[in-house]
Amino acid sequence: MKNYLIIILCSVVLMSCGDDSDTPSGPLLEKYSIEIMDYPQSVYVGKDFAIQLEYSRKHQISKRIGDLIRRSPSTGFNYRTYDKVYDELVYDNDIITITKKLTADSEFTSCLPFKRTLFLENGKLVKKIEDNRHLEAFDNDTTYYYYKNERLEKTTSRDLIRKYVYNESGNLLQISTQNTYTQEKDTTFYLGYDNTPNLCKNLFIFKECFNRSLSTNNYIGYIKKSYDSDGYLVGTVEREWTFQYDDENYVIY
């Protein structure tokens, strides 16, 4: 009997800016490793697996192939990579609709579409509506985006307020998040950057790539500290990367 596929979507912060352009100053990415972006860390990664990107004639992303699906914790991993699922992107002026689909049904008969509708103004994301029925929670969640001096300053959604701080080079220094329902908070501090152009700016449409899309350059690490409603530190996550570069000195994502 074939199973019904539920795609795992990671809860991370969202949108693109950095300098005045949301278009990467360099070649378009054709693939990236999940280790570079904001995916869960307890993942069994298949051999040679990478997220693949396809583009239209207008150089807009038309398809993102690959994702994570749940894996039994008894295996030592919570997720595994899966290359038979993709995001389809449809553009209608300043509206982008993203829907998840299967490329083959050898293991699963169908998957939940997890529809996301993005609204842009002057090339910048101003609103996103996510269909969250796959979570058996609310029907959808809407996030609003606010800018100052061409950079994302704040986002608001049902229970979350996020604030963004940058340095003079347009690189993200800090993200502060407050849950207005539980009063829990967390702060992410970015530890430093390389000096090469960020090729991820056009990936702001995907939440797993959102943080990397925000800066002029490529962050090399961060520390995230989480606090309960009483202000006590309850968790710390640290991540660092050592990038490899191609012959043109662009990061190999």
Q: How many domains does the chain have?
A: 1
Which residues lie below 8 Å from residue 68, measured CB to CB, with a gap of 6+? Answer: 7, 8, 10, 34, 39, 40, 43, 79, 80, 81, 82
In a domain, 120, yes or no: yes
In a domain, 13, yes or no: no
In a domain, 18, yes or no: no
Q: Which of 243, 252, 253 is nearest to 193 (CA)?
A: 243
* pLDDT one digit per residue (tens) for the chain, 253 residues: 444 444 444 333 333 333 445 666 689 999 999 999 999 888 999 899 999 999 999 999 999 999 998 888 888 899 999 999 999 999 999 999 999 999 877 778 778 888 999 999 999 999 999 987 655 555 678 999 999 999 999 999 989 999 999 999 999 999 999 999 999 999 999 999 999 999 999 999 999 999 999 999 999 999 999 999 999 999 999 999 999 999 999 999 9
In a domain, 61, yes or no: yes
In a domain, 166, yes or no: yes
Domain that holds residue 187: 23-240
Residue 92 sits in a domain of what CATH number? 2.40.160
Whole-model pTM: value is 0.85
In a domain, 1, yes or no: no
In a domain, 98, yes or no: yes
In a domain, 7, yes or no: no
Phi/psi region, residue 121 (left: phi>0; alpha: psi -120 to 50; beta: rest), is: beta
Q: Which of 23, 73, 26, 16 is nearest to 252 (CA)?
A: 26
User: What does DSSP say about strands 172-179 and 185-193: parallel, antiparallel, or unpaired?
Assistant: antiparallel
